[in-house]
Amino acid sequence: MNGPSRVLYISHSSPVPAKLGPSRRHYHILDQLSRFYEVHLLCLGTQLQAEMFASAFAGRIAGFDFALTQQKGAAKVIRKVWQTSISQCDFLPVLEPNLRRLCIEVTSSGSFDAIILSTVLLRDLPLPERVPIVGDTHNVEFDVLLRTSASAHSFMRRHYARCQAGPTLRAERRCAHNVDLLLANSDRDRQVFQQELGVQQVEVIPNGVDITEFSPAQTSGQPATVLFTGLMSYYPNQQAIRWFLDAVFPLLLKKVPNAKLVVAGARPPAWLTARSNSMLEVTGEVSDMRPYFERARVVIAPLMIGGGTRVKILEAQAMGRPVVSTSLGAEGLNMSDGHSILIADDARSFAEQVARLLTDDDFASKMSVNARKRVVSDYDWNRIGERLECVLHHNIGLTRRNAINLTPCDDLLVSDRQIC
C-alpha cells in the first residue's frame, strides 16, 4: 500500500473542548490516530464545537464533518423515556437524523481502510460493508447500569437503570459482535466483554494523560486542602461527593479541623451548591483544572458507581498529587495500594487515609513521586498511541506513515498487561 491508511473516526460527541471523560478520550485517540494515518472525523456536535475543533486540529487531519445535534432539552428527555418504555436502548446519538445522513454521504463519497467508532453503540449507524470496523468503549454500559440499579440513592434512578440494563446489554452485545475489533480501556472491561457478552476480539487501549500538560506542581499545595473533580451533573460524581460529605468529611474534621474540601466541576446540583461554606468550596465549571490540582494537598475519588477508568486520578497523579480512592474509583488502573495510591472503601478508613496524607508530609511526598512515575511509565498518551497503532496493524492490517523513534510493535503487544 502506498502511503498511510485512510481512517474514518466517528464520534458521538465533540473531542473539543477536551474537558469531560468521553471528550478527553476522543481527543487523544483522534490525536494519536493522526500521528499514523490520514484521518477524517465525522462528529455529532454544535456549530460552536465545530469551530473550536477546526481551530484545535487545523492541519492535523485530512478533513472533518460535524452533524448538528437535533435532539436537545425536553425533546431528548421525552425520547429517552419513550425508548425505555418500549424496552429499547436509549443511546440517542445513533438515532440523530443528521448523523445518519452524513454517515451515508461521507462513506459513499470517500474510500476508507477502516472506520473507528468512539463507542461501539454507534455500530447501529448505516455503515458500509467490507470495511473493517473498530468499536471503542468508555465503559461496559450495561454493567454501569446494573451497578447504578443496585447503589443509587434515588428510587427513580434505580428503576430507570433496571429498565435500561437489559435493552443496553442486548444493544451492546449486538454491536460488539458486529465489529471486527473491540477496544476496552481496562483488563476488567475486557474480561466483562469476553465473559458476559461472548466477544473474543478485544484489545486494551487504556485511558491516559498528557504528561507534558499535566506536569508536577511546583508547590505542595494549600494547607489541608482536599480536591474532588468531575462533571457534577453526572450522577456517580454526585453520589460520590454526597457520601464523602455525609459520612467521611465529619470524621476527617475531627482529625484535621482546618480541612477544606474543593469540588471543581461543571453543573453542580442545587443541593451541593447550597451546602457551600468556609469548609466547602463549590466552583462550578472551570476553564483549566490544573490550578486546582496545584492548590490541593490530596485528591479524592470516592466513587461507588461507574465503569472504565478515572482520568481524574491520572491527571492528579501526573501533577504529583497523592490520591485516595475507593476500590471502584481506582478500578482498571495499574496502581498498587499503599505505593502509588491509597484505597479505602468505608468512611472511617477513607477519612484516616486522607488525614494521613494531610498531616504526614514525607509520606505524602513519597506517594506523589511513586504515582507520577507510574503514570509516566504506563499512561503517557504517546506510548498508548503507539500501542494503538500496533493493535490496528496486527488486527486489521492498517499501514502507518513513516515514523521514527517508536517502540517496536512486538514489545508493545507483549507488554499490554503492563500498560493497562
DSSP letters for 149-168: HHH-SSHHHHHHHHHHHHHH
pLDDT of residue 407: 65
For the domain bounded by 225-378, which CATH number is listed?
A: 3.40.50.2000
* Domain at 6-208+380-419, CATH homologous superfamily: Glycogen Phosphorylase B; (3.40.50.2000)
pLDDT of residue 248: 98
The three three-digit cell numbers of residue 112, written as one number: 476508507
Which of 196, 192, 22, 186 has its CA nearest to residue 93? Answer: 22
pLDDT of residue 38: 97
Where are the CATH 3.40.50.2000 domain residues in the chain?
6-208+380-419, 225-378
The three three-digit cell numbers of residue 404, written as one number: 521514527
Which of 299, 417, 279 has its CA nearest to residue 357? Answer: 299
pLDDT of residue 417: 40
Contact 114, 134 (CB under 8 A): yes
Residue 371 CB coordination number (10 Å) = 26
Torsion sign across C-alpha atoms 13, 18, 21, 27: positive
Which of 30, 52, 40, 79 has its CA nearest to residue 287? Answer: 52
pLDDT along the chain (420 residues), means of 10: 89 89 90 97 95 93 94 88 94 95 93 97 96 95 93 90 96 97 95 95 96 91 95 93 98 98 96 97 94 97 88 95 96 92 98 98 96 95 97 97 66 47
pLDDT of residue 21: 67
Q: How far apart are CA 64 and CA 27, in angstroms?
A: 14
